[in-house]
Structure 1
């Protein structure tokens, strides 16, 4: 096991090859020199292409995905193609470091609530939303104490927000109040957060109708 990474590098494993000093020495570009190492949670940091697939074949899948994402009630096909092109997309992010606008134009299917959750699952094998709400519920009692002890204008705003819990003490109300109060605590406008969510929700409702 002492030289397992060296052996994997010799076999062409992208995950260890991308951070190889020899590989970076060959490519003097700023993007190659700034390639970050995987974090502990990034299980599938830089996966290999699926067996039998190449850069050209996965690029064709990406182009086909651009038309599939515009169709209604086509989530299953979009998810299948997003899963198939995952390794291609990850290597593009890690090695190419594209601008967000360019990446969004190439992968518009990724910028949806459902696909963001699935992409996080592909990378870390952990579901994003359920994990987020689990951690939020875990720290809710401590954050409520923190908000109650806050003074000044921000404290009054948070106490006003938390009144909703006494009227309707459900898990959804608690989460909404905690997130709104956290925005105020961080000196952010919580109304913008709710407005964005509401607009997105209404848009989804019209799409379904």
Structure 2
């Protein structure tokens, strides 16, 4: 067992080769630098390429996926199938830490809320949205107790947000308020992180927030009830790229 990792390396096992010196960036060419290993729940951290496939065949599948995405009438089932098939090669690319813009150009299908959920399932075998919201709901009462103990300017902001929860039983409003309060409690600049727009086109919101390195925007239609937790559009910006919800 002492030379087990050496045997895995010679066999080309991706979880070992990803940390080899030849696969590290020039500024990290040291054995102990930036070791990549599974985090909690990352069941499929760096899987092998499927049996019978090669890097070349996986690249051909990626190109075919791009072609499918360019069609006016996309075959969603085929896109899902190709994303599942290319998961291993995509994970190996992620571990090389490419720029988000570069990665988005290669894998645009992943920047869709449905595919994000599916990719999380492939990686962890757990459903992202239901798992997150379930845990948030479970912890809400304890979080509210913590928020109520907060003083100072942050405490006043939290009190103003939590007032929206009074006499409002909408679970979405409750979740929205708790997440906003949590950001303030952690000293995040909520006004910088989240931009809210009323009755404008999504592309206008994207143009306004596009210079941010990271941010969230919401667009509420004029006919919607303010503060009801429902939006015409929600999006995330990362290094100038957008993911729509």
Q: Does TM, normalized by the shorter one, top 0.5?
A: yes
Residue aligning to 1:192: 194
Q: How many residues align?
A: 199
Q: SS where residue 178 of structure 1 aligns?
A: helix
In structure 1, distance between residues paired with 2:35 and 2:69: 30
For structure 1, the 5+ residue unaligned runs are: 205-209
Q: Report the CA distance shift for 1:63/1:93 in structure 2 as closer, same or farther (over 3 A).
A: same
Residue deviations 1:110-132, cap 9 Å, x none? 11111111111111111111111
With normalisation by structure 2, the TM-score equals: 0.69
With normalisation by structure 1, the TM-score equals: 0.80
In structure 1, distance between residues paired with 2:118 and 2:91: 14
Q: SS where residue 126 of structure 1 aligns?
A: coil
Q: Which has the higher helix share?
A: 1
Residue aligning to 1:37: 37
Q: Which has the higher strand share?
A: 2
Deviation of 1:10 after TM superposition, in Å, equals: 4.7
Q: Report the CA distance shift for 1:130/1:3 in structure 2 as closer, same or farther (over 3 A).
A: farther
Runs of 4+ in 1 over 6 A off after TM superposition: none
Deviation of 1:203 after TM superposition, in Å, equals: 5.3
In structure 1, distance between residues paired with 2:178 and 2:114: 23
C-alpha RMSD of matched pairs (Å):
2.8
Q: Report the CA distance shift for 1:198/1:73 in structure 2 as closer, same or farther (over 3 A).
A: farther
For structure 2, the 5+ residue unaligned runs are: 198-216, 221-230, 235-245
